[in-house]
Amino acid sequence: MKKKNIYDMTIDSLVYPNSATGTIEGRRVSVKNGLPGQQLSVQITKLRRNRVEARICQVTDRAPYEVDSFCEHFGECGGCARQTVPYERQLDIKLESINALFAQNDIALRVAKIIASPSIYHYRNKMEYSFGDLAKGGQLNLGMHRKGRFYDVVSIPRCHIVDDDYNTITAALERLCRTEGWAKYNRNSGEGVMRNLVIRKGCFTGEILIGLATSSASFDVQKVVDTLLALQLKGQIVGIYHLINDDVADVVKPQPGDHLVYGRDYFYEKICGMTFKVSFHSFFQTNSRGAEVLYREALALIPDLDDKVVYDLFSGTGTIAQIVAQSAKSVQAIEIVADAVAAAKQNARDNGVTNCTFLTGDVFKILDEVTEKPDVIIVDPPRAGMTPKTVQKIADYDVAQILYISCNPKTMVANLKDFFARGYALKSCFLVDLYPHTPLVEAVALLTK
């Protein structure tokens, strides 16, 4: 086997989330985004004594279960990599890959079920787009990164995992930018204007919040506002946020120059019969209908909360905290994003919830300030999971039940092993598919002592 040489390979297994493996000349080879049963032509990109990686040059023979893609942009757009897999088979693959992940980490419990998303099309309530092109000096596009190419952006006139309002907005803004000659921002030269577009829409309320990220270069942002407000949409635009970003990193995050150019910097969404104010930068589950299923099924694992104090850690806009508060004695919720905490407090007032306390700051530090001791702890950390020190601090409370909700099972597994070392056992675990047509899945685990 030689680096850069091309070989034939059949995929026989997956490694969560998006790696696939097969055998070439007696060695295991890993590629991204392959599917079990596919026959591939691959080029070796990394050749080490303990690891071989390759990239897919061509799918020479599809897996027996594959079907035609439903999206005209498949193969060019970098999203929805598994749309050629029938949905029921997608669920099976996710379940199999998580059980393999558990086995690789010596976790004996088998994940017994995966719950399907209520909707497999038009399900997202948030989408982030990029401005770019397909060639140096080429026509400006507003869309998604090209498959396997970080710097190339393809226009996506019709995306199937968001509703039509998203497509209408992106098409109108792309036309405006081309007409006005507004160039994409070039991170190398620092020239240009347009960087990113974020659209958030309440699936149950129809409220739309738009964020446009540009450099600090001058352009007529009012033309953007006028163009967007003139659109015929099913929902209603309630706010347009202008984000200023001159950093090299192409990341949408709070910056000193950010400001509203229309309306308000939040939208409302309804989950489990309650209304939630979601600020622009706040975390909120991207599949609203799926989130209702997730919370209902997760909280069913801890049904007896009467007269109990619950900690909700990494609480976001307080969704879980306020649902739990309906049956618990009290809830202490901790979140590091100040805007999210402010929204959570407002949400609690609007929903008539009086037994929740919302605290701002790093979970590891703020826990020291909470005097009311917990009976049950719920954690829903970001993708990076929790640090060992945070796990230790949580375990030191010695509660009988810890409910772990995770958007990244790989980091959850690492945290579970830390909890095992501190006397906890994994009583049950299941999956909820919030991300149809992608390799990702949400995991729920109940730890007991």
Which residues are annotated as catalytic? 407
- What's the angle, vertex CA 379, arms to CA 112 and CA 14, rounded to 5? 40
* Residue pair 52/121 in contact by the 8 Å Cβ criterion: no
Joined tokens for residue 381: 């950390």
Q: What single DSSP character describes residue 196?
A: E
Helices (H), 9-125: 87-104
Nearest-angstrom CA–CA distance, 145 and 130: 7
Task: List strand residue ranges (DSSP E) for 104-179, in order.
Answer: 114-115, 126-132, 141-145, 153-155
- Which single residue is written with the structure tokens 């579970």? 416
- Helical spans, DSSP H, in 270-405: 288-299, 319-324, 338-350, 363-366, 388-395
Residue count of the chain: 449
Omega of the bond leading into 17 within 30 degrees of 0 (cis): yes
- Supply angle C-alpha 436, 437, 439, rounded to 5: 90
119 three-class SS: coil
Which H helix or E strand runs over 207? strand 207-214
How many angstroms separate the first and last alpha carbons of the chain? 50
* Burial 28-41, CB ≥16 within 10 A → b, else e: ebbbebbbbebbbe
Q: Looking at the DSSP assignment, which residues form a beta bridge with residue 320?
A: none
Instruction: Give Rg (Cα) of the chain.
Output: 23
Which 3 state secondary structure label does DSSP give 396?
A: coil
Q: What does 280-311 look like in DSSP terms, one character per residue? A: TTS---S-HHHHHHHHHHHHTTS---TT-EEE
SS3 225: helix
CA distance 325 to 376: 12
Burial of 190 (0-12, 13-18, 19+ CB in 10 A): exposed
Is residue 162 within 8 Å of 155, Cβ to Cβ? no
- Residue for token digits 């140096």? 136
